[in-house]
Copies of this chain bind each other. A is one copy, B any other.
């Protein structure tokens, strides 16, 4: 259906049909949820042997008793394994607690309040601090900035990553821009993978911006491909080393969507100098991470091969769910002017762009038909999508059957909202 080319009469007929379909859906009193990027229980089952895997042996390779205090940055064997996910050296790796969000919050908060190289370097000293936010993006990144009073500047993305001409000229023009949020592989929510050129240009930002600028590289889906052919991401730290900007990049990851969400490990890759300063402040707020859980994870995976084999089991469980969402989008909108979407090869989301001005209305319609969608605007700083068109779909958690039901509702809601708008 191309509603821009349809006659008023055709649109009225469509509308009547869609209103009828919507009423039928409402009468079914559904209760479905497509909001959260969280693993389904079959995925979680893959890691059930974690509890008990230590069989009473709590010693790390170097003799550390993981049950006791000590070690602010994690055990050596966890660094050795997860540094490979981050793409940094083990000496550039910190293994934290259960949330990379915490490491990111701390990184920004410490830099802002306490400085990246001592008190004098605190961002807060320099006036109104700003961050670049490629959009659509991840609401929890934006939450960190809001919490700390850091102003956010949205930057558009295409299928290669943030528009780097814009990024570079903004950074050149304003020394109060201290960082940029990136989800570089299977970006949340568009699923795109940053191109090699974009990665290289991001590594060079440290030479354009001031010394205290930091790239917040949230590689949350580093190993979360849906198939073997998914595009690879260039190594940011390697690029930074080439350009002498190692201190300008902070790389994050976790096993939240690898083992147990909330009971996994978070990790951070950073230059040794950055880690040294980070740990000074970290040590004021914690006695160290849960080393027992780190030991469990290392024993569970063995090595990087073991980890990647584990991830292919996740892909087997996730692929059909993504396919179902995409099939409905294809059937509903491929031959239309009602919306566009991404076909991600990994990650946890499908991003749908409706006709401008309709995202909120579609989410409302779906909600009133018993289908919960991520609030419109959530993928933009301050919750404000300037075109009110982006909707994030999260297919990982519901059953295939529920996804099919949800997407039927979604399709009707998009069409209904679009035709109503056109006629109004």
Contact = CB atoms under 8 A, between A and B. Distances in A.
A133 to B, nearest CB: 16
Contacts of A66: 260, 262-263
Interface in A56-113: 56, 58, 65-70, 97-99, 101-102, 105-106, 109, 113
A383 to B, nearest CB: 14
Nearest to A285: B105
B284 A105 contact: yes
Contact of A67 (B69, B261, B281): B261
27 contacts: A38-B69, A41-B65, A48-B56, A51-B52, A51-B55, A52-B53, A52-B54, A52-B55, A66-B262, A67-B260, A67-B262, A67-B263, A97-B97, A97-B290, A98-B290, A101-B285, A101-B287, A102-B285, A102-B286, A105-B285, A109-B285, A113-B113, A140-B284, A144-B284, A260-B292, A262-B288, A262-B291
A69 B365 CA distance: 27
A143 interface: yes
A406 interface: no
A46 to B, nearest CB: 10
Given A147-B284, A260-B292, 10 more contacts: A41-B68, A51-B292, A68-B262, A98-B286, A98-B289, A105-B285, A263-B291, A263-B292, A263-B293, A293-B293
Nearest to A68: B261
A286 B288 CA distance: 16
A147 B114 contact: yes
Given A286-B102, A289-B262, A68 B39 contact: yes
Contacts of A68: 38-39, 41, 44, 260-262
